[in-house]
Structure 1
Amino acid sequence: MGKFDDNERIILNVGGTRHETYKTTLKTLPGTRLALLASDSDIDSVLDQLQQVPGFIEFNARTNEYFFDRHPGVFAYVLNYYRTGKLHCPADVCGPLFEEELSFWGIDETDVEPCCWMTYRQHRDAEEALDVFELNVDNGDEDDDVGKRLGIEDVAADGNVSQWRKWQPVIWNLFEDPYSSRAARFIAFASLFFILVSITTFCLETHEAFNKIINKTEMRNSSGPDSGPQYEIETDPALTYVEGVCVFWFTIEFLVRVTFCPVKLEFVKSVLNIIDFVAILPFYLEVGLSGLSSKAAKDVLGFLRVVRFVRILRIFKLTRHFVGLRVLGHTLRASTNEFLLLIIFLALGVLIFATMIYYAERIGAKPNDPTAALHTKFKNIPIGF
């Protein structure tokens, strides 16, 4: 065979769809796979190179047709890129498939036009977000999957491994992955139950039906100045006992998780684990100081009662048990720029209308009232906010 003619038309059969173009068209993107067909090399050497690449099937000398077993719909956009110099992304093809086809034809993904970039990226962004949620359904190789998810090597086939390495991933997964086994689901349900009970108890402690006012006047120092009656609010002991049971469960759960955690540093840096510790510690300190009557102890107890509001943050632990909450959290983080833009628009509207109402209210003010303080309540723009 001879060499290609510059004006020769080349027929490309991609996935059963025939495309016809010129050699000069394929030369517009040097370094790509189709540009190889338009090279000045001998056709036999070109065929030898192409036949080593998966996806190229055969060359039909009778019809001068090159057959590629690739996606025909995507190739239409690829060939159009050679013709127009603009690479667009089909809306009916997912981003990873389009990326794979571009890689095969030797085209850089950054060549995608700005108008199609979001369409091209949205599939990959969704794929990367979903990769965060590794929810494995029960199967026969469950124990092996546990080790792989935790980055721990599989148990040796000869059984020559310590009991700690054998049970650490199993126990950790019971408390960390509710979808790993039935026992993990039961523990997750128990944890969810105690979280809801703890939050309910926290709310009921503020209700007057569970609070009793006690006169502490007689407990004052008789030598001190008379400052009038002294009262304190005492919470129903039943709620304290219920909270104690919840804290006991959270303590056991926290100790087990910190003991069997494969990466202690990551555990300590986790926000949810910090919330767990901060919510548990005040209860034990309050119980330990409750029997003391010194002023310093009472001040510490007062501070601890204020810190107990951290208990309400336990509601964020629900993200461990509900995938939808985790998806919502990732969605909010991914939409940070959009939320900031929304806040800017709201602030702009508030500023404009606060300014308008300030100057509108000043109309009709009396000459002896230059600040319009007697005429309107909107004395300045910040009040209009």
Structure 2
Amino acid sequence: MTRVKINVSGTHFEFDRTILGIREYDTLTKMCKDAEKEDKPLDFFVDRPSDCFAAVLSYYQTDELHLPASVCPKAFRKELRYWGVAETDLDKCCLYRYYTFFDDYDTHEKFRKETAIQDLRDGLSIPIYTDSKVSRLRRKIWKVIDFKENTVIAKIYLALVFLMVLLCIVTLAFSTVPSFQRKVSKCELLEYLDHSEHDYAEKARIKLGDPDCSGTVYDDIYDLEDEYLYWEEAEDIYADGNWTKSTTNVKLPDLRVRLFVFVVLEMIIAAFFTIDLLLRLSTCPSLLRFFQSVINICDILAIAGFYIHIAVINIQKEHKYHISWIRLINFLQVFRVIRLFRIVRNVRASRVLTFSLRQNGRDMTMLVLLVMIAVTSSASLIYFIEDRDVIESIPVAWYWAMITLTTVGYGDISPKSWAGRLVAAIMAICGVLLLAITLPIFVNNFLTLYQYSCLDETIEEHTKRRIKLKGAIHATGVANKMTGNSANVQNNNKENYDELPGIICTTPCEDSRARNNVRGRNGIETSK
């Protein structure tokens, strides 16, 4: 019986040669065959990890390959390839852990590469400026307004943009509240009647007393009472040889506009974002990349909508006082809320969420397909079960099925028959099960990536801290070295002075010492 002795990094193993009989292409088998051909003893030394080789040797002995708990799967894969053992020979109890590790590892590496590429693009888009004062200023401004710096100015600008976005949303929202609106003034009412070519525009001017509208139009907003909007007008009509009196009820439109404070706030917001857009256009490294961004396009649409609205209501002033399609253009400013994505794009959770959505596209597609199948089938079923006064069409049944499947249940449409209620109950249960089974797939990937990203950030912070510490230690060493050199220079100067007897030095202490030396030699103190 031939014994094989192998020393793996100081750990000795000994086993029977026959256990390698059926494994002709493994590294250990080749080593034994080469030694037998050259008539050398089967005694080897290998500089490899011993714990991984113990698992490989156990595989040869028991025909079961297990992953050591203390070994990284990545390191174990390298050892398996060195010893010529296939990864698929791992037992199922360890194979799942092995492939799960590499699945998470590959996902993490993809996330790191995408993040690095994005950071690299942002970084490479900056140094294209020429080396001049204007270019350096452009670069500084761009890094601040594009949130690429962590300075105090960048943080202040970030907070200012965030507050302006919120102020824009609040201004547009509260300007539609009736309690924050006022009645139009006499001049505004006359302006609307004149530009809309109202039939009673001239009579309304006489009724309102022909007010002077040369100044501000907000001085008389409390003078417009209901009696100016409604009156009866008598008119003599000659018909069939007789004069008859006809009474006409005149009713002017009761117009309301938003308070003036909202107009001022809207002007301030528009001015701020206009300046911001001009700065970004004048300092951005690439206009092509700038206009390829969806967020930038939404910013331009929001600003353009404001100025188009201003231009239209000054040309066709009747649109200023009632809701029309022009008001919709002004409400394009709501697109500024998309700007918040620019603010949070460098936040760790935002990057992880974006990457997770892209990685789980197939899973999300499968979820959408399952929802479509459930909605379509149940909607068709409930349509033929219920009466037409309950479910009038299949598209209405689609709406009911979607609301029921997502367990929202508004209650505006509800089945009346027992069969319809049974279908509704089954739909609700299926919706709960569908969401409970599919959503954790996405959530688990997000949490795993988020933990990895937190770890990456911690490692990066420790690396920067070590670099700063090394720099401080190096600076301290250089300072100590310079201090030592200066001390040596002073010692050398002192020795040179001691070697020159009878010479009066320029400094007071050295001068005194020189005089003492002269007096000690000849007993005479010489004064200058």
TM-score by length of 2: 0.49
Aligned counterpart, 1:13: 8
Verify the 8 A CA contact 1:176 1:320 in the aligned structure 2: no
1:237 has 2:239 as partner: no
Aligned counterpart, 1:124: 106
Structure 1 residue 101: Cα displacement? 6.3
Q: Which moved further from structure 2: 210-219 or 282-291?
A: 210-219
1:255 has 2:235 as partner: no
Structure 1 residue 107: Cα displacement? 9.1
1:384 aligned to 397, 406, 410, which one? 397
Verify the 8 A CA contact 2:299 2:335 in the aligned structure 1: no
Aligned counterpart, 2:336: 311
| Mapped partners of 1:352, 1:246: distance in 2 | 50
Structure 2 unmatched runs, 5+:
202-247, 399-528
Aligned counterpart, 2:456: none
Verify the 8 A CA contact 1:16 1:72 in the aligned structure 2: no
Structure 1 residue 380: Cα displacement? 5.5
Please tell me whether Structure 1 or Structure 2 has the larger radius of gyration of its CA atoms. 2
The letter for the 1-side match of 2:286 is V
What is the RMSD computed on CA atoms of the aligned residues? 5.0
Aligned to 2:315, the other structure's residue is in SS state coil
Count of residues in correspondence between the two structures: 333
| Mapped partners of 1:249, 1:111: distance in 2 | 65
Aligned counterpart, 1:54: none
| Mapped partners of 2:260, 2:333: distance in 1 | 16
1:220 has 2:225 as partner: no
| Mapped partners of 2:11, 2:128: distance in 1 | 46
Verify the 8 A CA contact 2:5 2:13 in the aligned structure 1: no
Deviations 1:327-374 (A, max 9, x none): 32332232222222222222233334334434544xxxxxxxxxx54x
1:181 has 2:151 as partner: yes
| Mapped partners of 2:79, 2:172: distance in 1 | 57
Verify the 8 A CA contact 2:309 2:327 in the aligned structure 1: no
Verify the 8 A CA contact 1:11 1:65 in the aligned structure 2: yes
Structure 1 residue 66: Cα displacement? 1.0
Between Structure 1 and Structure 2, the one with more helix by share is 2
Aligned to 1:184, the other structure's residue is in SS state helix
Aligned to 2:165, the other structure's residue is in SS state helix
The letter for the 2-side match of 1:28 is Y
Aligned counterpart, 1:328: 353
Deviations 1:223-244 (A, max 9, x none): 6999964455422221222232
Structure 1 residue 10: Cα displacement? 6.6
Structure 1 unmatched runs, 5+:
1-6, 45-60, 135-144, 362-371
Aligned to 1:234, the other structure's residue is in SS state strand
1:205 has 2:218 as partner: no
| Mapped partners of 2:70, 2:51: distance in 1 | 13
2:365 aligned to 336, 340, 344, which one? 340
TM-score by length of 1: 0.64
Structure 1 residue 167: Cα displacement? 4.0
Give the fraction of aligned pairs with identical amino acids, expressed as a percent.
22
Aligned to 1:291, the other structure's residue is in SS state helix
The letter for the 2-side match of 1:196 is L
Aligned pairs for 1:1-385 (under 5 A) are 9=4, 11=6, 13=8, 27-28=24-25, 37=31, 40=34, 63-68=43-48, 70=49, 72-73=51-52, 117-133=99-115, 149-150=123-124, 161-214=131-184, 215=189, 216-217=192-193, 219-222=195-198, 229-230=252-253, 232-293=255-316, 301-320=326-345, 322-361=347-386, 373=388, 377-378=390-391, 381-385=394-398
Structure 1 residue 269: Cα displacement? 0.7
Verify the 8 A CA contact 2:141 2:283 in the aligned structure 1: yes
Structure 1 residue 274: Cα displacement? 1.3
| Mapped partners of 2:66, 2:147: distance in 1 | 42
The letter for the 1-side match of 2:8 is N
| Alpha-carbon distance change, 303 to 195 in structure 1, aligned in 2, over 3 angstroms | closer
The letter for the 1-side match of 2:367 is L
| Mapped partners of 1:283, 1:251: distance in 2 | 10
Aligned to 2:390, the other structure's residue is in SS state coil
